[in-house]
């Protein structure tokens, strides 16, 4: 966690952002945040009208926005007008977290004697790499060739298979993680500046609820500025990719080779068939069934069954494909 605190004026100067602030701001900024999780002394951004409800409830002290939306910013929040709020927000994120792009190899790992002394009920195979700040509950089993790195909390009665890598993750109790899965690595997010590709920093965690099962060779990316979340009693088959900021509800079943793009929200009791693809920034309701190989490109309301590409209601699909 960084320890920076900086006046807003100085922060904007540090990222080379010319501003039209009406007066000098004595406001101190200590961190970045999305609109929902923002607190006092944090800075966020607003560039999409569909997040207006979140904007009105936000507790951020300053928000990057465009000329078009500046009048929507609540009066108690400092509006910083710029051409591209998302790009400027990335610059701010890099200011606070300059080392966020790469997973550095730490020399703060525990040796076998230290592991045995610190985690008395832990059972594990050969070649366990465990960093010193990791927290592990009781009765945890870890397979061979496993790395559990920085910023991890492992709950009670968790089973972790072989050849697994976990970092930036909070794993609740009674979770089973299959062989070869990777949790908490940076996601795949980019923006373009003058036709040059700029990577979005990833600062969030992966949060796995209670009694979940993650199959073999799954990849769950850490969030960018918020967490990637898997709800209680949700089961993932093998070979599934969950992108950054995805939030999956409770009691869901997701079959093999499904891909869910970033920032999509999935409700409770959702069934997703094998090889289905779900686009980013969508909302999938509760009790939804998505047939295998479907391509979901728009929101789905509660209690719907869809199939095909683009995914449509079962009734429409059958009528079209008689």
Catalytic residues: 244
In a 13 Å sphere around the CA of 203, the CA atoms on its Cβ side amount to 20
The span from the CA of 82 to the CA of 17, in Å, is 8
CB 282 within 8 A of CB 294: no
Beta carbons within 10 angstroms of residue 267's beta carbon: 21
What strands, in cross-sheet order, belong to the sheet with 283-284?
Answer: 135-136, 152-154, 169-171, 206-208, 228-230, 247-248, 265-266, 283-284
Beta bridge mates, 64? 45, 80
The position carrying tokens 């409830």 is 57
Q: How far apart are the first and last CA of the chain?
A: 58
C-alpha span between 246 and 227 (Å, rounded) = 8
Q: What angle do CA 269, 271, 275 make, to 5 degrees?
A: 155
Q: How far apart are CA 84 and CA 224, in angstroms?
A: 18
For residue 124, give both structure tokens: 């594990």
Supply the DSSP string of 45-95, one letter for each residue.
EE--GGGHHHHHH---SEEEE-TTTGGGS-TTSEEEE-S-HHHHHHHHHHH
Q: d(Cα 213, Cα 235) in Å, to the nearest integer?
A: 5
């Amino acid at each position: 966690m960084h320890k920076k605190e900086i006046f807003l004026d100085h922060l904007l100067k540090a990222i080379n952002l010319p501003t039209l602030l009406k007066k000098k701001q004595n406001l101190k900024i200590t961190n970045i945040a999305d609109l929902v999780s923002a607190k006092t002394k944090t800075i966020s951004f607003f560039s999409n009208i569909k997040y207006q409800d979140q904007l009105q409830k936000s507790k951020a002290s300053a928000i990057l926005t465009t000329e078009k939306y500046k009048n929507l910013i609540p009066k108690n929040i400092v509006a910083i007008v710029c051409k591209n709020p998302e790009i400027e927000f990335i610059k701010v994120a890099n200011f606070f977290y300059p080392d966020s792009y790469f997973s550095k190899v730490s020399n703060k790992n525990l040796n076998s004697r230290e592991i045995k002394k610190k985690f008395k009920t832990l059972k594990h195979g050969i070649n366990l790499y465990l960093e010193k700040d990791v927290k592990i509950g009781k009765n945890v089993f870890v397979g061979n060739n496993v790395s559990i790195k920085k910023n991890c909390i492992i709950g009670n009665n968790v089973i972790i298979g072989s050849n697994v890598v976990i970092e930036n993750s909070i794993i609740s109790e009674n979770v089973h993680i299959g062989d070869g899965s990777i949790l908490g690595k940076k996601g795949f997010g980019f923006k373009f500046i003058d036709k040059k590709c700029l990577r979005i920093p990833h600062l969030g965690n992966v949060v796995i609820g209670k009694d979940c099962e993650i199959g073999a060779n799954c990849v769950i990316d850490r969030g960018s500025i918020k967490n990637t979340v898997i709800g209680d009693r949700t089961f993932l088959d093998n070979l599934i990719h969950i992108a950054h900021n995805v939030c999956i509800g409770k009691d869901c079943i997701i079959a093999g080779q499904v891909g869910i793009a970033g920032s999509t929200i999935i409700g409770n009791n959702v069934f997703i068939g094998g090889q289905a693809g779900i686009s980013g920034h969508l909302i999938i309701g509760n009790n939804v069934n998505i047939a295998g190989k479907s391509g979901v490109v728009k929101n789905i309301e509660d209690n719907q069954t869809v199939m095909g590409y683009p995914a449509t209601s079962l009734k429409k699909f059958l009528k079209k494909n008689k």
